[in-house]
Amino acid sequence: MNKRSAEEIFKSIKLLGSDDIRSYASMNEAIDVMAEAFSSYSSGHSKVPQRYVSGISGSELDIFFKPAYDKRLDRIAVKILTQKRGGSLGEIPAILGVVLLLDMNTGAILSMIDGAYLTALRTGAASGIATKLLAREDAATIAVFGCGTQGETQLEAICNIRPIKQALLYDININAAEDLKSTMAERLGISIHIEQKLQNLKQADIICTATNSTKPLFSRNDLNCGVHINAIGSYKPEMQELDPHIIDSGILFADSREAVLKESGDLIKPLKDGVFSENIIRGEIGDVINNNVRGRETADDITIFKSVGLGVQDLFIANLIYNKSKGD
């Protein structure tokens, strides 16, 4: 049998854009796949080398390089992503990039997938599975901080998991909040309000934070008992979305214990100041999925899912999309 040439292998790479992702992976499917991804990670089946994040001197861009692999899938994923700290620039999204899906046995690139929407989808789905496991069953009001693409998929995911009737939108860019309201109100069939003050935040049963903030967005006094928080911003040491006293008074779960302790200012800053110890993390969300760690215990618990994003999430959702594109 003749060996395939490098050129033939290159031509066989499947290019999948955002419309393809939407076609092949619904939000509910993505939530189920994130449960598999987190379970695999916390069980030690998936390997996720520490990601590399770099700023560019004199630029508002951050560059992400995120690899992951799973021997049971026989797949490797490598994501290369840029994120503009100041938000989107006109019609250009704030987050752009690609995910490369590779065959673990041959090293061949199987697919190149749009990284911007894939990232938003899997991040929303991660909050979806965390909400399913940790939020009160009767949660009806969600507050979203950060109204870009991430905010859209956060809102969509939570509405797939809980009987949401009302959403409160917070963003320093009022146009972004208005755009999100316009996009999602009819699609979700819920009441959506744009908020500029925190006086109504006590209404929220679920809060999703998806910002680049360097200081806490709200205080413990702004929250009601029993709230669940999905904190997906603060992916660098200098960033901070959550008041340390909220974390100290709540029950904290991470996507990766190792990653959040190394990367997130939500933990790095208060740990350095001695507000709490590393034992504040009850466990990883994969531990809850695997029934190795208990989740919410009472209706009054404040539960927190802290995520910095894992390559294993990209791997599992990319593998799903690629397989479905082939009809598998």
Q: Which of 9-13, 14-18, 118-122, 191-195 has the lowest mean pLDDT?
A: 9-13
- Output the pLDDT for position 61: 86
AA letter at 231: A
Q: Would you state the pLDDT for residue 149?
A: 85
pLDDT band at 148; cut points 50, 70, 90: confident
Average pLDDT of the residues in 2-13: 68
Q: What is the predicted pLDDT for the residue at 2?
A: 57
Instruction: Give which of 89, 85, 116 is closest to 213, Cα–Cα.
Output: 85
Q: What digits encode the pLDDT tens for the residues 41-84?
A: 999 999 998 778 888 887 888 888 889 999 899 999 999 988 88
Please tell me the distance from the alpha carbon of residue 267 to that of residue 260, in angstroms, as a whole number: 7
Contact indicator for 118, 182 with CB cutoff of 8 Å: no
Give me the mean pLDDT over the 32-39 stretch.
Answer: 97
What is the rounded distance in angstroms from the CA atom of residue 144 to the CA atom of residue 230?
10
Q: What is the pLDDT of residues 235-286, one digit of tens each?
A: 889 999 999 999 999 999 999 999 999 999 999 999 999 999 999 999 999 9
**How does the average pLDDT of the chain come out, rounded?**
92
AA identity, residue 281: I
Alpha-carbon distance of 83 to 4, in angstroms, equals: 37
As a CATH number, domain 6-118+312-325 is 3.30.1780.10
pLDDT confidence of residue 89: 61
Q: Give CA–CA dist 196/176, Å, rounded.
A: 13
pLDDT tens digits for 68-80? 999 899 999 999 9
In contact, 268 and 308? CB cutoff 8 Å: no
Mean pLDDT of all residues in 115-133:
95
Q: Where are the alpha helices (DSSP H) in the chain?
A: 6-11, 18-24, 27-43, 115-134, 149-161, 174-188, 244-249, 257-263, 265-272, 285-289, 311-325
Model confidence at 1, pLDDT cuts 50, 70, 90, reads very low
CATH 3.40.50.720 fits 123-309, yes or no: yes
Q: What percent of the chain has pLDDT over 90?
A: 80
| Residue 145 Cα distances to 36, 90, 168, 195, angstroms | 27, 20, 9, 10
pLDDT, residue 64, reads 86
Q: What is the pTM assigned to this prediction?
A: 0.90
Q: What pLDDT is stored for residue 164 in this prediction?
A: 97
Give per-residue pLDDT as tens, 169-222. 999 999 999 999 999 998 999 999 999 999 999 999 999 999 999 999 999 999
- Give the strand order in the sheet containing 228-231: 191-195, 166-170, 141-145, 206-209, 228-231, 303-306, 251-254, 281-284
Percent of the chain surpassing pLDDT 70:
95
Domain ranges within the chain, ordered by starting residue: 6-118+312-325, 123-309
Of the ranges 28-42, 44-58, 213-227, 309-323, which one carries the lowest mean pLDDT score?
A: 44-58
Element (H, E) at 91: none
Quick one: pLDDT at residue 56?
81
Task: Please give the average per-residue pLDDT across 9-24, as a whole number.
Answer: 89
